[in-house]
Amino acid sequence: MIITAVFSVIFLTLAALLLRWLIAYLHDRRLDSMVKPVEELSTLLDKAKDSAFICGQEIFNEALTNAKNRFEEEVITPGLNRIFQAVFPEADKSYDSIRNYAYIITEDKIHPFQITPEIARITRRAVAQNKTDRDRMEAILNWFKTNIKYDYERYRQIQSGRKVNYRHALETYADRKGVCGEIAILYVVMCRAAGLTSRYVYVEIDCQGNQVSHACTAVMLDSVWRLSDASWGCLFIQHRRFTIMNDEQAINHFKLMRNI
């Protein structure tokens, strides 16, 4: 497809040059009645050339992105895994690197922010066409709107006083549903996989002034924490009283909610 686009641009450029020569020739011969239709054809060819050039750029960028992802998945990640296993041969862990973030994947049931290569790939795919941090943050939120449902049955069980063990990120991803805290945990993980600095947020008074026990996610944009609420499907939500937790605080909160 790239070769086809390149040849199309070359052909249309040569055709445009030929028409310009023909227009000059017709002017010299004073064949003015023939100049206008040739000029119109030349304009159409210029537009077609520009369109072909833009199309070629898009095809090239897509091919470059696919090649980068394949290199990371097939060369970088397996190589890091081999290094990690060589250093810690008895550890039942694997290693994944996404941009400037590194994760140790573990089956530790008390660690909420777990990730797998599959979640990393899904995240990369969700944000592939987005260049800014804000756009990546919104793209992940849109993925949640399509793929993760709010678990109303689980919410009713919690409200009734039943002990319900909170899901960590891998469990919420596998079940494709969760309550606010579970969804917020997975959102933190996917934001980090996209290269965004993010934290778990406990909300006491929501954007409408109601006293709640709620959770959402904070993402650092331009050195400012901005809230995104995947449970409510709302970007840049304005909750009124909340705590942005570091990971130690979030893990302790998770242990409490998981009844550990």
Decide the pairing of beta strands 211-221 and 224-229. Answer: antiparallel
Write down the pLDDT at residue 162. Answer: 84
The answer to whether the beta carbons of residues 193 and 119 sit under 8 Å apart is: yes
Which amino acid appears at position 230 of this protein? A
Beta partners for 244?
201
pLDDT in tens, 17-76: 665 666 666 566 665 666 566 566 666 656 665 665 555 556 555 655 666 666 666 655
Average pLDDT over residues 133-153: 96
How far apart CA 178 and CA 172 sit, in angstroms, is 6
Q: In angstroms, what is the C-alpha Rg of the chain?
A: 27
Alpha-carbon distance of 185 to 148, in angstroms, equals: 12
Whether the pLDDT of residue 234 is over 50: the answer is yes
Out of 4-13, 43-52, 89-98, least confident range = 89-98
Burial class, 34, CB count within 10 angstroms (exposed 0-12 / middle 13-18 / buried 19+) = middle
Query: What does the H/E/C string look like for the chain?
Result: CHHHHHHHHHHHHHHHHHHHHHHHHHHHCCCHHHHHHHHHHHHHHHHHHHHHHHHHHHHHHHHHHHHHHHHHHHHHHHHHHHHHHHHCCCCCCEEEEECCEEEEECCCCCCCCCCCHHHHHHHHHHCCCCCCHHHHHHHHHHHHHHHCEECHHHHHHHHCCCCCCCCCHHHHHHHCEECHHHHHHHHHHHHHHCCCCEEEEEEEECCCCCEEEEEEEEEEECCEEEEEECCCCEECCCCCEEEECCHHHHHHHHHHHCCC
- End-to-end CA distance of the chain: give it in Å, rounded: 56
In this prediction, residues 82-90 reach a mean pLDDT of 49
**Residues 115-120: what's their mean pLDDT?**
86
Backbone angles phi, psi at 107, to 5 degrees: -95, 20
Mean pLDDT of the chain: 77
For the stretch 152-204, pLDDT in tens is 999 998 888 888 888 999 999 999 999 999 999 999 999 988 889 999 999 99
Mean pLDDT of 233-245: 96
* pLDDT reading at 256 higher than 50: yes
Is pTM beyond 0.75? Reply is: no
Q: Which of 39-43, 146-150, 157-161, 224-228 has the lowest mean pLDDT?
A: 39-43
